[in-house]
Homo-oligomer: A and B are copies of this chain.
Amino acid sequence: MTPNKGNGRPKIKMEKMENESNLNVTFAKRRRTLFQKAASELCILCGAEIAIIVFSPSGMLIHMWTLPARFDIATRLDIKSR
């Protein structure tokens, strides 16, 4: 184990990431956090109901909702993957 420097988290520019590998890792991390924050926390803490629809960088459709019964997003949108 070469001791790595461990420079911590750099500040990033708000623009599309160039490096595709980093982009995919970042997308996975942030998507996870987004869903957890949105679904688990905002819903539980505040009694909100949330639906999120995402097209990933590669065009994949991801969706989630915490709506108990108010309406059925998937049905009403007739969601299909591309």
Contacts and interface: CB of A to CB of B under 8 A. Distances in A.
A46 interface: yes
A70 B49 CA distance: 24
Interface residues of A, number: 39
B46 A37 contact: no
Copies of this chain present in the complex amount to 2
A71 B67 CA distance: 21
Given A37-B30, A76-B76, A77-B76, A14 B55 contact: no
Contacts of A17: 45-46
A57 B52 contact: no
Nearest to A57: B47
Interface in A34-82: 34, 37-38, 40-42, 44-57, 65, 67, 70-71, 73, 76-78
A33 B45 CA distance: 15
